[in-house]
Structure 1
Amino acid sequence: MSMRQLVGPGTALLRRLREPAPPQPERCEFCDVRLPGEHRHLADRDERSLVCVCTACALLLRQPGAAEGRYRGLSERYLADPEHQLTEIHWQALRIPVSCAFLFRDTALERLVTLYPSPAGAAESELDEAASQALLDASRLAAALEPDTEALLLRRTEGRIDCYLVPIDVCYELVGRLRLCWHGFDGGAQARAELDGFFARLAERTATPRVEVLS
Protein backbone atom coordinates (compact mmCIF):
# COMPACT_ATOMS: atom_id res chain seq x y z
CA MET A 1 0.00 0.00 0.00
CA SER A 2 1.40 3.35 -0.97
CA MET A 3 1.46 6.34 1.38
CA ARG A 4 -1.16 8.04 -0.85
CA GLN A 5 -3.63 5.29 0.00
CA LEU A 6 -3.41 5.93 3.76
CA VAL A 7 -6.45 8.05 4.56
CA GLY A 8 -8.85 8.52 7.44
CA PRO A 9 -7.82 6.72 10.69
CA GLY A 10 -4.52 5.60 9.20
CA THR A 11 -3.46 9.16 8.46
CA ALA A 12 -4.44 10.27 11.96
CA LEU A 13 -2.34 7.45 13.44
CA LEU A 14 0.73 8.50 11.46
CA ARG A 15 0.22 12.09 12.61
CA ARG A 16 0.10 11.00 16.25
CA LEU A 17 3.25 8.92 15.82
CA ARG A 18 5.10 11.94 14.41
CA GLU A 19 4.00 14.27 17.20
CA PRO A 20 5.79 14.25 20.56
CA ALA A 21 3.97 12.51 23.39
CA PRO A 22 2.40 14.83 25.99
CA PRO A 23 4.51 15.25 29.13
CA GLN A 24 3.79 12.70 31.83
CA PRO A 25 3.12 13.83 35.42
CA GLU A 26 6.13 13.47 37.68
CA ARG A 27 6.00 10.82 40.39
CA CYS A 28 7.89 10.23 43.62
CA GLU A 29 10.90 8.06 42.81
CA PHE A 30 10.41 6.03 46.00
CA CYS A 31 6.67 5.50 46.54
CA ASP A 32 5.44 6.40 43.01
CA VAL A 33 2.79 8.84 44.25
CA ARG A 34 1.90 11.55 41.74
CA LEU A 35 3.68 14.84 42.47
CA PRO A 36 2.43 18.42 42.05
CA GLY A 37 4.29 20.82 39.78
CA GLU A 38 6.09 22.30 42.79
CA HIS A 39 7.62 19.44 44.77
CA ARG A 40 10.70 18.52 46.78
CA HIS A 41 14.02 17.19 45.57
CA LEU A 42 16.81 15.29 47.28
CA ALA A 43 20.45 15.18 46.25
CA ASP A 44 21.62 11.62 45.55
CA ARG A 45 25.31 11.73 46.45
CA ASP A 46 26.07 8.29 44.98
CA GLU A 47 24.54 8.99 41.57
CA ARG A 48 25.41 12.73 41.53
CA SER A 49 21.81 13.55 40.64
CA LEU A 50 18.57 15.00 41.95
CA VAL A 51 15.55 12.84 42.69
CA CYS A 52 11.91 13.97 42.84
CA VAL A 53 10.17 13.00 46.08
CA CYS A 54 6.92 13.50 47.94
CA THR A 55 6.91 15.26 51.30
CA ALA A 56 6.60 12.00 53.28
CA CYS A 57 9.56 10.32 51.57
CA ALA A 58 11.64 13.50 51.81
CA LEU A 59 11.12 13.66 55.57
CA LEU A 60 11.87 9.95 55.95
CA LEU A 61 15.08 10.01 53.92
CA ARG A 62 16.35 13.12 55.70
CA GLN A 63 16.37 11.31 59.04
CA PRO A 64 19.87 10.61 60.49
CA GLY A 65 21.17 7.29 59.19
CA ALA A 66 18.47 6.85 56.53
CA ALA A 67 19.87 5.11 53.42
CA GLU A 68 23.32 5.44 55.03
CA GLY A 69 23.25 9.17 54.39
CA ARG A 70 23.00 8.77 50.62
CA TYR A 71 20.29 11.43 50.20
CA ARG A 72 20.43 15.04 51.31
CA GLY A 73 17.60 17.52 51.48
CA LEU A 74 18.08 20.71 49.51
CA SER A 75 18.51 24.05 51.17
CA GLU A 76 15.90 26.80 50.82
CA ARG A 77 18.37 29.68 51.13
CA TYR A 78 18.59 32.47 48.57
CA LEU A 79 21.53 34.78 49.26
CA ALA A 80 23.10 37.62 47.31
CA ASP A 81 26.61 39.05 47.47
CA PRO A 82 26.60 42.44 45.72
CA GLU A 83 30.07 43.25 47.06
CA HIS A 84 31.83 40.16 45.73
CA GLN A 85 35.30 40.49 44.22
CA LEU A 86 34.64 38.47 41.07
CA THR A 87 36.22 40.15 38.06
CA GLU A 88 36.54 39.67 34.33
CA ILE A 89 39.74 37.70 35.01
CA HIS A 90 37.81 35.21 37.15
CA TRP A 91 35.15 34.91 34.46
CA GLN A 92 37.66 34.24 31.70
CA ALA A 93 39.13 31.46 33.85
CA LEU A 94 35.78 29.64 33.65
CA ARG A 95 36.39 29.07 29.92
CA ILE A 96 32.71 28.85 29.03
CA PRO A 97 30.98 30.09 25.84
CA VAL A 98 27.86 31.54 27.55
CA SER A 99 27.09 34.22 30.12
CA CYS A 100 25.89 32.05 33.00
CA ALA A 101 27.43 29.31 35.17
CA PHE A 102 26.98 27.63 38.53
CA LEU A 103 29.42 25.96 40.89
CA PHE A 104 28.90 23.46 43.69
CA ARG A 105 30.93 21.20 45.97
CA ASP A 106 30.61 17.58 44.87
CA THR A 107 31.36 15.26 47.81
CA ALA A 108 31.61 12.17 45.57
CA LEU A 109 34.33 13.81 43.46
CA GLU A 110 35.75 15.76 46.41
CA ARG A 111 36.07 18.93 44.36
CA LEU A 112 34.29 22.00 43.06
CA VAL A 113 32.23 21.37 39.90
CA THR A 114 31.44 24.13 37.40
CA LEU A 115 28.49 23.74 35.01
CA TYR A 116 26.87 26.00 32.44
CA PRO A 117 23.72 25.88 30.27
CA SER A 118 23.96 24.46 26.76
CA PRO A 119 21.52 23.17 24.11
CA ALA A 120 22.24 19.65 25.40
CA GLY A 121 21.68 20.50 29.07
CA ALA A 122 24.22 21.22 31.80
CA ALA A 123 27.81 21.09 30.46
CA GLU A 124 30.88 20.94 32.67
CA SER A 125 33.87 23.28 32.54
CA GLU A 126 36.90 21.64 34.11
CA LEU A 127 38.85 24.17 36.17
CA ASP A 128 42.30 23.64 37.58
CA GLU A 129 42.75 23.87 41.34
CA ALA A 130 44.15 27.40 41.26
CA ALA A 131 41.22 28.76 39.22
CA SER A 132 38.72 27.04 41.50
CA GLN A 133 40.33 28.48 44.61
CA ALA A 134 40.41 31.96 43.12
CA LEU A 135 36.66 31.77 42.52
CA LEU A 136 36.06 30.61 46.08
CA ASP A 137 38.15 33.44 47.50
CA ALA A 138 36.28 36.08 45.48
CA SER A 139 32.92 35.76 47.24
CA ARG A 140 31.91 35.26 50.85
CA LEU A 141 29.02 33.12 49.62
CA ALA A 142 31.39 30.37 48.49
CA ALA A 143 32.48 29.68 52.07
CA ALA A 144 28.82 29.16 53.04
CA LEU A 145 28.02 26.61 50.32
CA GLU A 146 26.48 23.36 51.59
CA PRO A 147 27.96 20.43 49.62
CA ASP A 148 25.79 18.80 46.93
CA THR A 149 22.69 20.86 47.73
CA GLU A 150 23.60 24.51 47.09
CA ALA A 151 25.30 26.30 44.22
CA LEU A 152 27.00 29.59 43.52
CA LEU A 153 25.09 30.98 40.53
CA LEU A 154 26.87 33.56 38.38
CA ARG A 155 25.80 35.69 35.46
CA ARG A 156 28.01 38.00 33.45
CA THR A 157 26.44 41.01 31.79
CA GLU A 158 28.09 44.06 30.29
CA GLY A 159 30.13 45.69 33.04
CA ARG A 160 29.19 43.40 35.92
CA ILE A 161 28.87 39.88 37.34
CA ASP A 162 25.88 38.90 39.48
CA CYS A 163 26.53 36.39 42.26
CA TYR A 164 23.95 34.36 44.23
CA LEU A 165 23.79 31.33 46.49
CA VAL A 166 20.73 29.20 45.64
CA PRO A 167 19.36 25.65 46.05
CA ILE A 168 20.97 23.55 43.35
CA ASP A 169 17.66 22.49 41.79
CA VAL A 170 17.08 26.15 40.88
CA CYS A 171 20.15 25.97 38.63
CA TYR A 172 18.93 22.84 36.87
CA GLU A 173 15.52 24.47 36.43
CA LEU A 174 17.27 27.35 34.65
CA VAL A 175 19.21 24.93 32.44
CA GLY A 176 15.93 23.22 31.47
CA ARG A 177 14.22 26.52 30.67
CA LEU A 178 17.07 27.63 28.44
CA ARG A 179 17.27 24.29 26.66
CA LEU A 180 13.65 24.66 25.53
CA CYS A 181 14.29 28.01 23.83
CA TRP A 182 17.95 27.66 22.77
CA HIS A 183 18.94 28.83 19.28
CA GLY A 184 22.37 29.20 17.71
CA PHE A 185 25.74 29.18 19.44
CA ASP A 186 24.98 31.26 22.54
CA GLY A 187 21.25 30.60 22.97
CA GLY A 188 19.91 33.53 20.97
CA ALA A 189 17.56 36.38 21.85
CA GLN A 190 14.88 34.17 23.39
CA ALA A 191 17.35 32.51 25.76
CA ARG A 192 18.73 35.91 26.76
CA ALA A 193 15.20 37.12 27.52
CA GLU A 194 14.64 33.99 29.63
CA LEU A 195 17.85 34.72 31.53
CA ASP A 196 16.82 38.34 32.09
CA GLY A 197 13.49 37.29 33.55
CA PHE A 198 14.99 34.53 35.69
CA PHE A 199 17.62 36.77 37.27
CA ALA A 200 15.12 39.60 37.75
CA ARG A 201 12.94 37.24 39.80
CA LEU A 202 15.99 36.02 41.69
CA ALA A 203 17.03 39.58 42.55
CA GLU A 204 13.52 40.29 43.86
CA ARG A 205 13.57 37.15 45.99
CA THR A 206 16.89 37.98 47.62
CA ALA A 207 15.75 41.55 48.25
CA THR A 208 12.73 40.58 50.38
CA PRO A 209 13.00 40.93 54.19
CA ARG A 210 12.39 37.20 54.64
CA VAL A 211 15.65 36.30 52.95
CA GLU A 212 19.12 37.16 54.17
CA VAL A 213 21.14 39.38 51.87
CA LEU A 214 24.87 39.68 52.22
CA SER A 215 25.90 43.31 51.72
Structure 2
Amino acid sequence: MCAEDIGDHHQHVVDVVGRQLMCVCRGCYLLFTDSRADLRYRAVPDRFLSFPEFTVDRHAWSALQIPVEVAFFFRNSALDRVVAFYPGAAGACESELELDLWDAVTAGDDRSALLADDVEALLIRMPEIGTPQCFLLPIDTCYEFVGGLRSLWRGFDGGTDVHAFIDGFFGTIGERAKDVPP
Protein backbone atom coordinates (compact mmCIF):
# COMPACT_ATOMS: atom_id res chain seq x y z
CA MET A 1 0.00 0.00 0.00
CA CYS A 2 2.98 2.27 0.68
CA ALA A 3 6.77 2.01 0.48
CA GLU A 4 7.25 1.30 4.21
CA ASP A 5 8.89 -2.04 5.01
CA ILE A 6 6.77 -4.46 6.98
CA GLY A 7 8.07 -7.29 9.11
CA ASP A 8 6.91 -10.86 9.51
CA HIS A 9 4.43 -9.72 12.15
CA HIS A 10 2.21 -7.13 10.55
CA GLN A 11 -1.43 -6.25 10.17
CA HIS A 12 -3.92 -6.52 7.34
CA VAL A 13 -6.63 -4.52 5.65
CA VAL A 14 -9.41 -5.88 3.47
CA ASP A 15 -10.05 -4.45 0.03
CA VAL A 16 -13.84 -4.58 0.27
CA VAL A 17 -14.42 -4.21 -3.47
CA GLY A 18 -11.69 -6.61 -4.61
CA ARG A 19 -12.29 -9.09 -1.75
CA GLN A 20 -8.58 -9.28 -0.98
CA LEU A 21 -6.43 -9.13 2.12
CA MET A 22 -3.47 -6.77 1.97
CA CYS A 23 -0.41 -6.74 4.22
CA VAL A 24 0.20 -3.21 5.53
CA CYS A 25 2.47 -1.21 7.78
CA ARG A 26 1.12 0.13 11.07
CA GLY A 27 0.54 3.62 9.64
CA CYS A 28 -1.58 2.37 6.74
CA TYR A 29 -3.48 0.05 9.07
CA LEU A 30 -4.44 2.96 11.34
CA LEU A 31 -5.85 4.91 8.38
CA PHE A 32 -8.62 2.33 7.99
CA THR A 33 -9.70 1.59 11.57
CA ASP A 34 -12.90 3.69 11.63
CA SER A 35 -15.56 0.97 11.30
CA ARG A 36 -18.31 3.56 10.71
CA ALA A 37 -16.62 5.16 7.70
CA ASP A 38 -17.58 4.11 4.18
CA LEU A 39 -14.11 3.05 3.03
CA ARG A 40 -12.83 0.77 0.29
CA TYR A 41 -10.24 -0.63 2.71
CA ARG A 42 -11.02 -1.77 6.24
CA ALA A 43 -8.56 -2.68 8.98
CA VAL A 44 -8.79 -6.25 10.27
CA PRO A 45 -9.21 -6.07 14.06
CA ASP A 46 -7.57 -8.43 16.53
CA ARG A 47 -10.71 -9.60 18.35
CA PHE A 48 -11.10 -13.25 19.35
CA LEU A 49 -14.44 -14.17 20.93
CA SER A 50 -15.86 -17.53 21.91
CA PHE A 51 -19.60 -18.14 21.87
CA PRO A 52 -20.15 -20.97 24.35
CA GLU A 53 -23.52 -22.68 24.07
CA PHE A 54 -23.96 -21.36 20.52
CA THR A 55 -26.90 -23.48 19.51
CA VAL A 56 -26.54 -24.68 15.97
CA ASP A 57 -29.45 -26.76 14.78
CA ARG A 58 -28.00 -29.84 13.07
CA HIS A 59 -30.83 -29.91 10.53
CA ALA A 60 -30.13 -26.28 9.57
CA TRP A 61 -26.39 -27.02 9.34
CA SER A 62 -27.05 -29.99 7.04
CA ALA A 63 -29.22 -27.80 4.82
CA LEU A 64 -26.20 -25.53 4.21
CA GLN A 65 -24.65 -28.46 2.27
CA ILE A 66 -21.16 -27.81 3.58
CA PRO A 67 -19.29 -31.10 3.06
CA VAL A 68 -16.91 -30.71 6.02
CA GLU A 69 -17.37 -29.99 9.72
CA VAL A 70 -15.83 -26.51 9.65
CA ALA A 71 -16.87 -23.33 7.84
CA PHE A 72 -16.52 -19.60 8.29
CA PHE A 73 -19.13 -16.97 7.54
CA PHE A 74 -18.81 -13.23 7.10
CA ARG A 75 -20.93 -10.37 5.86
CA ASN A 76 -19.61 -9.01 2.59
CA SER A 77 -20.71 -5.38 2.46
CA ALA A 78 -20.08 -5.04 -1.30
CA LEU A 79 -22.45 -7.95 -2.00
CA ASP A 80 -24.72 -6.97 0.90
CA ARG A 81 -25.01 -10.55 2.12
CA VAL A 82 -23.38 -13.22 4.23
CA VAL A 83 -20.95 -15.51 2.42
CA ALA A 84 -19.66 -18.90 3.54
CA PHE A 85 -16.33 -20.62 3.00
CA TYR A 86 -15.11 -24.05 4.01
CA PRO A 87 -11.64 -25.60 3.81
CA GLY A 88 -10.74 -28.05 1.08
CA ALA A 89 -7.75 -29.47 -0.74
CA ALA A 90 -7.64 -26.38 -3.01
CA GLY A 91 -7.96 -23.86 -0.16
CA ALA A 92 -11.03 -21.83 0.79
CA CYS A 93 -14.11 -22.99 -1.14
CA GLU A 94 -17.04 -20.60 -1.35
CA SER A 95 -20.42 -22.14 -0.68
CA GLU A 96 -23.56 -20.81 -2.31
CA LEU A 97 -25.31 -19.70 0.85
CA GLU A 98 -29.04 -19.15 0.92
CA LEU A 99 -29.77 -16.36 3.39
CA ASP A 100 -32.82 -18.04 4.86
CA LEU A 101 -30.66 -21.06 5.70
CA TRP A 102 -28.09 -18.81 7.36
CA ASP A 103 -30.88 -17.18 9.35
CA ALA A 104 -31.98 -20.64 10.52
CA VAL A 105 -28.44 -21.44 11.73
CA THR A 106 -28.12 -18.20 13.70
CA ALA A 107 -31.74 -17.96 14.86
CA GLY A 108 -32.02 -17.53 18.58
CA ASP A 109 -28.45 -16.32 19.14
CA ASP A 110 -27.97 -12.56 19.00
CA ARG A 111 -24.19 -12.84 19.37
CA SER A 112 -23.80 -13.35 15.62
CA ALA A 113 -24.77 -9.67 15.27
CA LEU A 114 -21.42 -8.70 16.88
CA LEU A 115 -19.67 -9.57 13.62
CA ALA A 116 -17.98 -6.62 11.88
CA ASP A 117 -18.64 -6.58 8.13
CA ASP A 118 -15.84 -7.79 5.85
CA VAL A 119 -13.15 -8.09 8.53
CA GLU A 120 -14.48 -10.64 11.04
CA ALA A 121 -15.98 -14.08 10.56
CA LEU A 122 -17.89 -16.65 12.54
CA LEU A 123 -15.91 -19.88 12.46
CA ILE A 124 -18.20 -22.79 13.26
CA ARG A 125 -17.11 -26.35 13.93
CA MET A 126 -19.93 -28.85 13.71
CA PRO A 127 -18.53 -32.27 14.64
CA GLU A 128 -20.55 -35.40 13.91
CA ILE A 129 -20.30 -36.24 17.60
CA GLY A 130 -19.93 -33.62 20.29
CA THR A 131 -20.78 -30.02 20.91
CA PRO A 132 -20.60 -27.43 18.13
CA GLN A 133 -18.05 -24.65 18.61
CA CYS A 134 -18.38 -21.07 17.42
CA PHE A 135 -15.79 -18.29 17.44
CA LEU A 136 -15.76 -14.74 16.14
CA LEU A 137 -12.29 -14.25 14.61
CA PRO A 138 -10.36 -11.82 12.43
CA ILE A 139 -10.92 -12.77 8.79
CA ASP A 140 -7.17 -13.15 8.21
CA THR A 141 -7.02 -15.80 10.94
CA CYS A 142 -9.69 -17.80 9.10
CA TYR A 143 -7.70 -17.69 5.87
CA GLU A 144 -4.49 -18.61 7.73
CA PHE A 145 -6.36 -21.61 9.16
CA VAL A 146 -7.50 -22.71 5.69
CA GLY A 147 -3.98 -22.19 4.31
CA GLY A 148 -2.54 -24.37 7.07
CA LEU A 149 -5.03 -27.09 6.24
CA ARG A 150 -4.29 -26.86 2.53
CA SER A 151 -0.58 -27.42 3.09
CA LEU A 152 -1.32 -30.62 5.05
CA TRP A 153 -4.26 -31.99 3.02
CA ARG A 154 -3.95 -35.58 1.80
CA GLY A 155 -6.62 -37.72 0.18
CA PHE A 156 -10.37 -37.23 0.32
CA ASP A 157 -10.86 -36.11 3.94
CA GLY A 158 -7.51 -34.43 4.53
CA GLY A 159 -5.89 -37.21 6.52
CA THR A 160 -4.76 -37.51 10.12
CA ASP A 161 -2.45 -34.48 9.99
CA VAL A 162 -5.38 -32.25 9.00
CA HIS A 163 -7.54 -33.58 11.81
CA ALA A 164 -4.74 -32.98 14.32
CA PHE A 165 -4.23 -29.46 12.92
CA ILE A 166 -7.94 -28.68 13.31
CA ASP A 167 -7.93 -29.91 16.92
CA GLY A 168 -4.79 -27.88 17.68
CA PHE A 169 -6.14 -24.74 16.03
CA PHE A 170 -9.42 -24.87 17.92
CA GLY A 171 -7.52 -25.51 21.15
CA THR A 172 -5.33 -22.44 20.55
CA ILE A 173 -8.16 -20.08 19.66
CA GLY A 174 -10.20 -21.47 22.53
CA GLU A 175 -7.45 -20.40 24.94
CA ARG A 176 -7.07 -16.98 23.31
CA ALA A 177 -10.74 -16.09 22.87
CA LYS A 178 -12.82 -14.20 25.40
CA ASP A 179 -16.09 -15.95 26.26
CA VAL A 180 -19.27 -14.06 25.39
CA PRO A 181 -22.16 -15.69 27.25
CA PRO A 182 -25.53 -16.12 25.52
Could you tell me the TM-score, scaled by structure 1's length? 0.78
Tell me if 1:50 matches 2:21.
yes
How far apart in 1 are the matches of 2:108 and 2:146? 24
Higher helix share: 1
Aligned residues: 181
Which amino acid in structure 1 is aligned with residue 76 of structure 2? D
> In the alignment, is the contact (CA less than 8 A) between 1:121 and 1:179 conserved in 2?
yes
Higher relative contact order, structure no. (Cα contacts within 8 Å, ≥ 6 residues apart): 2
Output aligned runs, 1:161-176, within 5 Å.
161-176=132-147
- Counterpart of 1:23 in structure 2 is none
- Aligned-CA RMSD value: 2.0
> In the alignment, is the contact (CA less than 8 A) between 2:57 and 2:105 conserved in 1?
no
> In the alignment, is the contact (CA less than 8 A) between 2:87 and 2:146 conserved in 1?
yes
How far apart in 2 are the matches of 1:114 and 1:195? 18
Closer/same/farther in 2, CA of residues 87 and 53 from structure 1, 3 Å limit: same
> In the alignment, is the contact (CA less than 8 A) between 1:141 and 1:165 conserved in 2?
no
Closer/same/farther in 2, CA of residues 212 and 97 from structure 1, 3 Å limit: closer
2:72 alignment partner, SS class: strand
Higher alpha-carbon Rg: 1
How far apart in 2 are the matches of 1:177 and 1:101? 14
Q: Which of residues 151, 154, 158 is equivalent to 1:187?
A: 158
Tell me if 1:109 matches 2:79.
yes
Gaps of 5+ in 2: none
Could you tell me the TM-score, scaled by structure 2's length? 0.91
Closer/same/farther in 2, CA of residues 104 and 65 from structure 1, 3 Å limit: closer
**Deviation larger for 167-176 or 156-165:** 156-165
Gaps of 5+ in 1: 1-29
How far apart in 2 are the matches of 1:79 and 1:61? 22
Output aligned runs, 1:31-110, within 5 Å.
31-62=2-33, 69-110=39-80
Tell me if 1:149 matches 2:124.
no
C-alpha displacement of 1:161: 0.9
How far apart in 2 are the matches of 1:65 and 1:145? 14
How far apart in 2 are the matches of 1:175 and 1:205? 19
C-alpha displacement of 1:154: 0.5
C-alpha displacement of 1:140: 2.8
1:103 alignment partner, SS class: strand
- Counterpart of 2:181 in structure 1 is 214
